[in-house]
Structure 1
Amino acid sequence: MRCRSVLVAVRSATALHRLLDVLPVFDGDDRIASRFTLVPGSDFDVDALAALEHAGARLIPWDEARRGGHDLVLSASPKGAVWALSGPRVLLPHGAGFNKAISGDGSPGIPSGLDPHYLLADGEPWASLHALAHGDQLARLAEHCPPAAARAAVVGDPTLDRILGSVIHREGYRAALGTGDRRLVVLTASWGPESLLSRHPGLPAELVGGLPCDDYQFALVLHPNEYSRIGEFDLARQLAPALAAGLVLAGPHQEWAALLIAADAVITDHGSTALYAAALGRPVIGAYDGGDELIPGSPMADLLAKAPHLGDPAELPEALRQAVAQDARPAAEAAFALPGESLPRLRHELYRLLQLEPPAAAPTIRQLPQPSAAPTPPSAFAVQIPQLTGHHITVERYPSFRSGPVHHRAAAHPDAGLRQVQSAAVLWRHAQRQDSATPAPNSAWTAAGWTAHVLAELPGRRTAAAILGADRCLIRHHRAGLVAVRIEPNRADGRVRRADPTAVVSAVHAWLNANSAWTAPTSLDCRVGRLAVRVELAAPGATDLDHEL
């Protein structure tokens, strides 16, 4: 049997990522040969080319694609000369519905994706099939471009189905991100002059710097066009303070969706990514200040109209409380229909155009992979002690760039760098993990030796701590001397939770400052973020003193 050629016409990285979620309809079928081509004319085509290469796609030049014949052409953008490609053409949306109108692009005031200027060629719809996610989208297409609506079908949203099919991995995603018991708040930013990052470029750092690091974790999901506009180098430079303080910057393909699953709440501008979060039942907080792009009455406009608005980073805890009390899912239900059915419905439509019987086995959703790596933990903190009463102590840690009075500063030695080490009252160092594949060093500090050395080397430091394990430290305090610290895990609700030992070191430092004449053994009740743990202080034994770092 003749092999059928499927050409994937890509104009931007965003469109490519959408189409990659569709292509599992052809899995297991050796009668299909897929090829990709880059549709010229986009300001973001460089990143699209890089994304194609990363995907391992078989790429053919545009001129060759125009000359050849194809059994099926798939596109997720109506822009560019896709109409010039021969064969049945299928157009899919490259977002969650039609929520924006881009100024200076196509017909004024018409939502992007519904503009006859792009959907018609010589007065006729160039797409053989316009695949939509919801019946309301079909009604809006009929309003703005009736000829295209006559060739449209509601099939659902394959990206949403992939997200819903991956929810089972939520705990694994959070573990990969190092989230623990913190609240993970994801910022989603669209692109263009009205986007969150264009209007509030400092918001990620303000949020990370304004809330305790052991209570909140923040992540940023950017539209792929923003990656293209700014560039990875400048992104890393502009976001450097927030990234150093633990901000997670999601990759543009797949990782953003895993972060929505892992999230406890989402802060959004007018980009439609937040509708996927709403479909998951995640609380949504608005950070869009208005403009000309958002279409009134669209699902995204309705979501923002009902969501609490974040005007100041300090208002986040109250905005979260309000968002949790609301149900964001109705807005998503107006954008997505037929959950779980998109791939079977798309397979039926695409094989009809290919004039082939589809494989007997149902298409399988590809579950989202884990985020690539956990962010590097911050190496320095500004520490507050809001409670120190008897043997009860609460510690709150903030990024080191936080201004204003603090109880003390703490830093990893030497990783934090000279300036942060010199300004810290508390220094810590983690023992190196030894395994059979890593030979032991020829020379190593003992825990007792290093703590004495670093306090002598850096006069003015008050506490040095050797972190010997997740629940074990050796602390040398400038007045109280050497202290062995054991941190009991919190056991509740069938789970075992551990506090960050570097946070406990700051708590013990503050307590020893107030109780330098302590007697062993002593127990402290320590609260770090939402976690309360028991901490035992004792005179150190040889095992702790001689532990090799």
Structure 2
Amino acid sequence: MTSGDSRESALRPAPSDNRRAGRTVLFAARSATALHRLLDTLPVFAGDDRIARRFTLVPGSDFDAEALAAVERAGARTLPWERARAGSFDLIVAASPKGELRALRGALALLPHGAGFGKSLPGEGTPGAPSGLDPAFLLTGGTTLATRHALAHPDQLTRLAGTSPRAAAHAVVVGDPTLERLLAAVGHRDRYRAALGTGARRLVVLTSTWGPESLLRQRPDLVTELLALLGYDGYQLALVTHPNERSRRGSYDLEQGLGPALDAGLVLPGPHAEWATLLVAADAVVTDHGSTALYAAALGRRVVTAYDGGDELLADSPTGQLLAASPRLTAADALPGVLDRVLAAPRAPAALAAADAAFAHRGRALELLRDELYGLLGLAPTGPAPSPEPLPVPARPPRQPAAFLVEAELAGDRVTVARFPPWRTRPARFLAAEQGVAGERHAQSAGLLYRRRSDHQGGAHRVAWTATGWIDAALRDHPGCATAGVLLSQTRALLRRRGGPPLVLELAPRPCAGRLIHTDPAAALCAAHVWLAATPGAPATFTADIGGHTFPVTLRPATPAEAEQLL
């Protein structure tokens, strides 16, 4: 076999894989962003063994690091660029007109890189032209790049026709396959929030695009500012970064740079589809001028803008319209008030209109796209109408903080507790730490130490603390600690104030609209620590106000059996 024969056999599926007029489709991506868009279209070919799917990385992007990681993890076939440009394909699918796509041979279907075409990148292509609709990239020598240009909304076709009638002649409106995945997942919202440990908290998702006007560049301290201001029991914070930013920094450096925030409970989704899961799970989104905000608006999520302006945003685009209709976050400490207002009010008609101006054919995008792609392949589609691939349930829950600075106030029979990261600079009432998980510096400084009961593993000689044995040792070894406790379950804990008797804390859930809200018993232990400092002894009943929800708490003397139970 010659080298040419070997190359062609690598590009073309084996006869056994193509019993009925087989076709080879090449997915050509310049970056992780483009690849992820392409992956959302794969259901159009699901169940068709006539299609061989190949992936290649188009050179020329500054953001190609880790670009093919998602398909490599899945075991998909990838082709080096030189082999891809030497071959011939029945169909090429790309999500960016930039790079050396003309070097590939085959009909080209071009998909949007994002939603809404809301940016114009200074110094690139035609000044003021929307990135993705710029004739400088869609035409070469008067000829069109794409055999078919798939758009998400008729307004996009109108805009393209205004700048390049020749390119518009090859365009068709099919809708947005990525939005289809989000819309298909809205019924899984509770499942996603459970996997994230959100509970009854408000999940606020910060979204940052890439470049000098992105949220992370314009407001690099906003994440830590919000974590220091928003109580852990009332809010959960997530950060969705553009794949280009992850490529620029590298996943490791990105996570290391966010280390203190991640330790404080920040959710950082994976680089592929988990960002969409976060939008489905969110209560509100704080955004710059990236197109992710349009997906949030299409889902009905309240949008708050933190974009500080610049030269990239096209004011007349759907993204520009959405930001103009959204409240602006001028300072981190204003966010709770802004959220109270927007979550209590109906959705703004202008925000609805902005999302409607970006996405057409909702619920039909994959079906319409399939018709177009199979038409280019010269095949009739097979099987049922395509369904969006389910969004992933977050596989890695956020870190559970091991230490908190606690603000607390006792008024009558109510103790209000708010917990914050231990690195916050504002003064607090005391430090609470989970012994054996928090660092020793925090453990030695804690006014309240606690531990969680864990499942035991078998062994030759099992050693287990009794509840009071551990509490006595914790108070002995940490002279600055005033209260130590063991969390026995979601509703019970055993604790002792220094110099006092062992007590049982019983924590009732709060009924709310047909559900029961449980709080973290460690937060209730913080309330008991404050109560016992002011009102020694038991029995006692008081109310703990935690994260905006109230919970009845009872303290009573522990029985000998309760005090000696094993941990």
TM range (shorter): over 0.9
Letter of the structure 2 residue corresponding to residue 385 of structure 1: A
Which stretch has the larger CA shift, 143-152 or 439-448?
439-448
Contact 1:379 1:412 in 2 (8 A): yes
**Cα offsets for 1:267-288 (capped at 9, x unmatched):** 0000000100000111100000
Cα deviations across residues 201-226 of structure 1 (Å, max 9, x unaligned)? 11111101111110000000000000
Q: Which residue of 1 aligns with 2:228?
A: 209
Give deviations 1:253-275, integer Å, cap 9, x for gaps. Answer: 11000000000000000000010
- Helix, strand or coil for the counterpart of 1:469? coil
- What amino acid does structure 2 have at the position aligned with 1:432? S
In 2, Cα distance between equivalents of 1:266 and 1:447: 43
What secondary structure sits across from 2:79 in the alignment? coil
2: CA distance between counterparts of 1:440 and 1:76? 59
Report the Cα distance in structure 1 between the residues aligned to 2:412 and 2:304, rounded to whole angstroms. 39
CA contact (8 A) 1:181 1:530 kept: no
CA distance in 1, matches of 2:460, 2:339: 48
* Alpha-carbon distance in 1 for matches of 2:137, 2:126: 9
C-alpha contact 2:501 2:557 (8 A) present in aligned 1: no
* Cα displacement (A) at 1:438: 4.9
In the alignment, structure 1 residue 535 sits paired with structure 2 residue 553: yes
Does the Cα contact within 8 Å between 1:299 and 1:331 map onto a contact in 2?
A: yes
Question: For 2:236 and 2:426, how far apart are their aligned partners in 1?
Answer: 22
Instruction: Flag the 1:36–1:431 CA change in 2: closer, same or farther, 3 A.
Output: same
Take 1:110 and 1:137, find their aligned partners in 2: how far apart are those partners? Answer: 12
Kindly indicate whether the alpha-carbon contact (under 8 Å) linking 1:467 and 1:474 is maintained by their aligned counterparts in 2: yes
Contact conserved, 1:185 with 1:266, CA < 8 A, in 2? yes
Q: Distance in 2 between matches of 1:108 and 1:353?
A: 33
User: What is the distance in 1 between the residues matched to 2:221 and 2:461?
Assistant: 43
Question: What is the CA–CA distance in structure 2 between the aligned matches of 1:217 and 1:395, rounded to whole Å?
Answer: 16
1:128 offset after TM fit, Å? Answer: 0.7
Q: Evaluate the alpha carbon distance shift between residue 438 and residue 190 of structure 1 in structure 2; reply closer, same or farther with a 3 A threshold.
A: farther
1:268 aligns with 2:291: no
2:503 to 477, 483, 492: 483
User: What whole-Å deviation, never above 9, does each CA across 1:174-217 have from its counterpart, x for those lacking one?
Assistant: 00000000000000000000000011111111101111110000
Superposed displacement of residue 46, structure 1: 2.2
The equivalent of 2:7 in structure 1 is none
| Conserved? CA contact 2:97–2:145, under 8 Å | no
Match of 2:443 among 421, 436, 444: 421
Which residue of the other structure, out of 342, 347, 355, is the alignment partner of 2:370?
347
Decide whether the 8 Å contact of 1:83 with 1:121 is kept in 2: no
Whether 1:395 aligns to 2:414 is no
Distance change in 2, residues 1:58/1:481 (3 Å): same
Cα distance in 2 for partners of 1:543, 1:535 equals 21
Q: Does 1:374 align with 2:397?
A: yes
Q: Deviations over 1:36-82 (max 9, x none)?
A: 11111111112213333123220112122112111111000100111
The corresponding residue for 1:98 is 117
Q: In 1, are the aligned partners of 2:108 and 2:145 still within 8 Å (CA)?
A: yes
**3-state DSSP of counterpart to 2:544:** strand
CA–CA distance in structure 1, aligned partners of residues 128 and 357 of structure 2: 21
Q: Deviations over 1:218-253 (max 9, x none)?
A: 000000000011112221222112111100001121
Query: Secondary structure of 2:98's partner?
Result: coil
| Counterpart pick for 1:250 among 240, 265, 269 | 269
1:151 counterpart = 2:173? no
C-alpha distance in structure 2 between counterparts of 1:321 and 1:333, whole Å? 25
1:457 matched residue in structure 2? 477
Instruction: State the Cα distance separating 1:440 from its structure 2 match.
Output: 8.6
Q: AA paired with 1:129?
A: R
Query: Aligned match of 2:127 in 102, 105, 108?
Result: 108
The structure 1 residue matched to 2:90, chosen from 71, 80, 91, is 71
Query: Is 527-536 or 21-30 further displaced after alignment?
Result: 527-536
Runs (4+) of structure 1 exceeding 6 A deviation are none
Shift, 1:385, TM fit: 1.3
Matched, 1:337 2:357: no
Residue equivalent to 1:163: 182
- For normalisation by structure 1, the TM-score amounts to 0.97
Please give the alpha-carbon distance, in whole angstroms, between the structure 2 residues aligned to 1:415 and 1:192: 38
CA contact (8 A) 2:116 2:294 kept: no
1:500 and 2:520 aligned: yes
**CA deviation map 1:284-333 (0-9, x unaligned):** 00000000000120111111111111111100012213433342322111
CA contact (8 A) 1:83 1:127 kept: no
Deviations 1:75-110 (A, max 9, x none): 001001112211111000010021001122222221
Match of 1:467 in 2: 487
Distance 1:38 1:183 in 2: 39
* Separation in structure 1 between the aligned mates of residue 533 and residue 202 of structure 2, nearest angstrom: 31
Q: Distance in 1 between matches of 2:427 and 2:138?
A: 59
Structure 1: which amino acid aligns with 2:480?
G
Corresponding residue of 1:444? 464
Shift of 1:458: 1.1
Amino acid at match of 1:444: A
1:420 shift after superposition:
1.1
One of 59, 66, 71 as aligned partner of 1:47:
66
For 1:191, the equivalent position in structure 2 comes to 210
What amino acid does structure 1 have at the position aligned with 2:396? A
Q: 1:543 to 1:137 in 2, by over 3 A?
A: farther
CA distance in 2, matches of 1:295, 1:72: 33
Give the AA of the match of 1:343: L
**1:122 to partner: Cα distance:** 2.1
Write the distance in 2 (CA, Å) between the matches of 1:390 and 1:380.
27
Matched, 1:288 2:307: yes
Q: Distance in 2 between matches of 1:46 and 1:235?
A: 13
Residues 215-224 or 539-548, more deviating: 539-548
Check conservation: 1:307, 1:323, Cα contact below 8 A.
no
Alignment-derived partner of residue 33 in structure 2: 14
Partner letter of residue 314 of structure 1?
D
Question: Is 1:480–1:512's contact at 8 Å kept on the other side of the alignment?
Answer: no
Once the two structures are aligned, what percentage of the paired residues are identical?
53
Q: Which amino acid aligns with 2:186?
A: V
Q: Look up the equivalent residue of 1:101 and give its one-letter code.
A: S
**Residue in 2 that maps onto 1:545:** 563
| CA distance in 1: counterparts of 2:383 and 2:273, whole angstroms | 28
1:524 paired with 2:542, answer yes
Question: Are the counterparts in 1 of residues 445 and 480 from structure 2 also a CA contact under 8 Å?
Answer: no
TM-score by length of 2: 0.94
1:308 equivalent to 2:327? Answer yes
Q: How far apart are the structure 2 equivalents of 1:175 and 1:425?
A: 31
Q: CA deviation at 1:439?
A: 5.0
What is the alpha-carbon distance in structure 1 between the residues aligned to residue 219 and residue 332 of structure 2?
11
Question: Which of 423, 427, 442 is matched with 1:405 structurally?
Answer: 427
Shift of the alpha carbon at 1:441?
Answer: 6.0
Which whole-Å deviations, capped at 9, do the CAs of 1:485-522 have from their partners, x for residues lacking one? 11112223221221110000000000000011x242x2
The answer to whether the Cα contact below 8 Å between 2:435 and 2:451 also exists between their aligned partners in 1 is yes
CA distance 1:297–1:241, shift in 2 (3 Å): same
Specify which of 2, 23, 27 is matched with residue 4 of structure 1: 23
- CA 1:440–1:432 in structure 2 vs 1: closer, same or farther (change >3 Å)? farther
